[in-house]
Amino acid sequence: MAETNFIHAAIEKDIADNKYPEREIRTRFPPEPNGYLHIGHAKSICLNFGTAEKYGGKCNLRFDDTNPVKEDTEYVDSIEADVRWLGFEWAGIYFASDYFDKMYECAERLIMNGKAYVDDLSAEEIKAHRGTLTEAGKESPCRSRAPEENLRLFREMRAGSYADGEKVLRAKIDMTSPNINMRDPVLYRIARVSHHNTGDDWLIYPMYDYAHPIEDAIEGISHSICTLEFEDHRPLYDWVLAELEWPMAPRQIEFARLNLTDTVMSKRYLKALVDNGDVDGWDDPRMPTIAGLRRRGYTPEALRDFCERIGVSKSNSTVDIALLEHCVREDLKPKVESRNVVENPIKVVISNYPEDACEYVEIENNKENASMGTRLVPFSGELYIDGADFMEIPEKKYFRLFPGNEVRFKGAYFVKCEEVIKDGAGNITELRCVYDPETKSGSGQETRKVKGTIHWVDAKTAVKIKVRSYGHLMIDEANGESVLNPDSLMERVAFAEPAIAAANPGERFQFFRHGYYVMDEKITSENERVFNEIVSLKSSWK
Ligand code: ATP
Ligand code: MG
């Protein structure tokens, strides 16, 4: 994080005010292990880890598992892998559920200090008592219970004397507060649910707004960075720590969450896509998950660059997904080798090329980066060109191959189409061509110019591959709604130059004139090499 933003400005002021004299700057990334991380989380990861790095502090990875829903070790493992893949290392790794004892102890302290009470009202009654933005709330009849009675009831709640929902522990703050979050919020509820970490040890579980400040404080977090929807919860965050008289309480700072066009950023929605089989798992290349983007061929550098470019702000907005695509394109441009790959192949037979002969022509590995060297590509009298590079009846300004026209075969020779051969059904089966041996690329001997350059592969040595390209996961409709894009996966067969046979899963290339591709790590097999389009060559980002 090279740039300074409002969060860094706040931290720098705290440092200047000598607010943390004996402590380093400490942040945390606190995911709930109930799904895979998405690109929105990447923003939070870059911000939290980047901030700690910038101020020579530390950042923890904390699994916020206070809610005993279906949390899964699969999610825990994937989150660790994703954070590491992005290039960050945590100072400590913690589970919020490890703090249940401490949270309970704190609750008893609040009770004895007259700051919390056990309420018998049902969830509906509590809701009805809460009031509205324009109307004060009503106090519960249980609000005046004595601390000793509250303590006894709370201990009974823990011991299992009451049914789920029969009682809750509430903070005693102010039912007339203009901030509804301060109207005696619930701190603990009864839930007979096994927890993935603590098993059946607990029948009561702390609420997020109560648990989170305590988690931060226990870990000595200096700045608790979270998203904007928690802004109205900050007074409660501060109240909990103030009432517990925590020394050097952490400071909560909010920023706007990332929204992207043509996709969704909610774990719940993404999980539904996975569960419904709408996508091929959390790491489907169309998913905005970090695992999906990785399988799609995105690099950690591209994601970090993206997070830096979008910056942090105090107001919600939606970022054009084209910026994300721009970042990966820019990252790959100087880094990956190109390969000749043709789709919808048309056979080219060069009638004046020596029969059964073959030669190797030298082609640069990366047009933008000469240091990546060259490779030798076999050329012969039987080649394939891309279906898009031939037109029997050319349209205006079509400079590629058509009958009577001459083009350069990239890295090789000038080739002219003389005749189109068709089968009985009228399909083109081959193009009869001639080449000019005097025009070998780099020989400097050509005396005339051609307007088009096209790529090709040698027919005998070409390797059949499968290419998959992807549309956006969602379509944002004019009315603001987002619907699943039914045509988000397109699959084609293609022919590649023989060097592709040595590619490894996860390896990235530029398919010359097509786009950037990665060999799929999941479904590539010995019999079938599958490549995902990472991003096209052309940018729609302005
Ligand atoms: P979701 O709504 O997708 O489930 P969440 O906020 O419930 O997201 P958590 O696991 O609680 O997911 O998030 C961990 C951290 O990542 C939190 O600090 C949260 O604020 C942050 N985060 C989540 N989504 C985004 C986003 N779209 N942009 C920025 N930060 C995000
Ligand atoms: Mg959440």
Which of 191-200, 320-329, 333-342, 496-505 is predicted with the least confidence, judged by mean pLDDT? 191-200
Of 207, 226, 255, the last residue of a domain is 255
Place of tokens 């226990």: 218
pLDDT at 1 (0 to 100): 43
Judge if the beta carbon of residue 231 lies within 6 A of ligand 1: no
Q: Is residue 374 part of a domain?
A: yes
The pTM assigned to this predicted structure is 0.94
Just list the catalytic residues: 32, 257, 267
- As residues whose CB is below 5 A from the ion ligand 2, the structure lists 32
Measure 270 CA to ligand 1 centroid, in angstroms.
Answer: 13
Ligand 1 pocket, residue 212 CB under 6 Å: no
- Residue 273 is predicted with a pLDDT of 96
- pLDDT score at 336: 98
pLDDT tens digits for 134-162?
999 999 999 999 999 999 999 999 999 99
- Looking at the fold, whether 197 and 346 belong to one and the same domain comes out as no
**What confidence score (pLDDT) does residue 2 get?**
45
Same domain? 103 vs 234: yes
Q: Is residue 306 part of a domain?
A: no
pLDDT digits (tens, 9 = 90+) for 407-426: 999 999 999 999 999 999 99
Question: Which of 7, 28, 41, 307 is the best mutation target for the ligand 1 pocket, counting ligand atoms within 8 Å of the beta carbon and taking the most?
Answer: 41
Ligand nearest to the CA of 82: 1
Cα of 199 vs centre of ligand 1, distance in Å, is 26
Instruction: List, in order, residues 6 or more apart from 338 with CB less than 8 Å away.
Output: 363, 364, 365, 366, 367, 509, 510, 511, 512
Contact by Cβ (8 Å): 426, 405: no
Sheet holding 93-95, edge to edge: 26-29, 58-63, 93-95
Last residue of a domain, one of 199, 227, 255: 255
The percentage of residues in the chain with a pLDDT greater than 90, rounded to a whole number, is 91
Mean pLDDT of the chain: 95
The CATH code of the domain that includes 531 is: 2.40.240.10
pLDDT at 446: 74
Q: Which two tokens stand for residue 459?
A: 């027919």
pLDDT band at 126 (very low <50, low <70, confident <90, very high): very high
Å from CA of 41 to ligand 1 middle: 6
pLDDT of residue 339 exceeding 90: yes
- 76 and 214 belong to one structural domain: yes
Residues written for the chain: 542
**DSSP-derived secondary structure letter, 390:** B
Spatial separation of the C-alpha atoms in residues 321 and 287, rounded to whole Å: 13
Question: Which structural domain range is residue 131 located in?
Answer: 6-255
Rounded distance between C-alpha atoms, residue 246 and residue 248, angstroms: 6
In this structure, the answer to whether residues 116 and 223 fall within a common structural domain is yes
Q: Are residues 238 and 383 in the same domain?
A: no
Domain shared by 529 and 431, yes or no: yes
Look at residue 426 and tell me if it is in a domain.
yes
Residue from 72, 227, 231, 273 to probe ligand 1 pocket by mutation (most atoms less than 8 Å from CB) = 227
Q: Does residue 141 lie in a domain region?
A: yes
208: in domain:
yes
247 and 359 share one domain? no
**Span from the CA of 206 to the centroid of ligand 2 (angstroms):** 15
Q: Are residues 369 and 238 in the same domain?
A: no
Backbone angles phi, psi at 97, to 5 degrees: -65, -20
* φ, ψ (nearest 5 deg) of residue 243: -65, -30
Is the dihedral angle over the CA atoms 479, 482, 487, 488 positive or is it negative? positive
- Region of residue 309 (phi > 0: left; psi between -120 and 50: alpha; otherwise: beta): alpha
- Cβ of 31 below 6 Å from ligand 1: yes
534 lines ligand 1 (CB under 6 A): no
pLDDT at 54 (0 to 100): 95
Domain assignment of residue 144, yes or no: yes
- 110 found inside a domain: yes
Q: For residue 64, give the ligand nearest its CA.
A: 1
Please give the tally of structural domains in the chain.
Answer: 2
Average pLDDT over residues 63-86: 91
Per-residue pLDDT at 538: 85
Mean pLDDT within 85-105: 98
Decide: 44 in ligand 1 pocket, CB within 6 A.
yes
| Long-range own/partner contacts, residues 526-530 (CB < 8 A, 24 or more apart) | 528/466, 529/463, 529/465, 529/466, 529/500, 529/501, 529/503, 530/465, 530/466, 530/467, 530/468
Of 220, 214, 213, 211, the C-alpha closest to 26 is 220
- pLDDT tens digits for range 212-238: 999 999 999 999 999 999 999 999 999
Q: Are residues 237 and 130 in the same domain?
A: yes
In a domain, 417, yes or no: yes
DSSP per-residue codes, 95-142? EGGGGHHHHHHHHHHHHHTTSEEEE---HHHHHHHT--SSS-----GG
63: three-class secondary structure by DSSP: strand
Bridge partners of residue 195, in order along the sequence: 199
The reply to whether 351 and 246 lie within a common domain is: no
Q: By C-alpha distance, which of 140, 119, 120 is closest to 129?
A: 140
CB 501 within 8 A of CB 531: no
CATH code assigned at 22? 3.40.50.620
Long-range contacts of 234-237 (CB under 8 A, 24+ apart): 235/179, 235/181, 235/182, 236/171, 236/173, 236/181, 236/182, 236/185, 236/209, 237/209, 237/212, 237/213
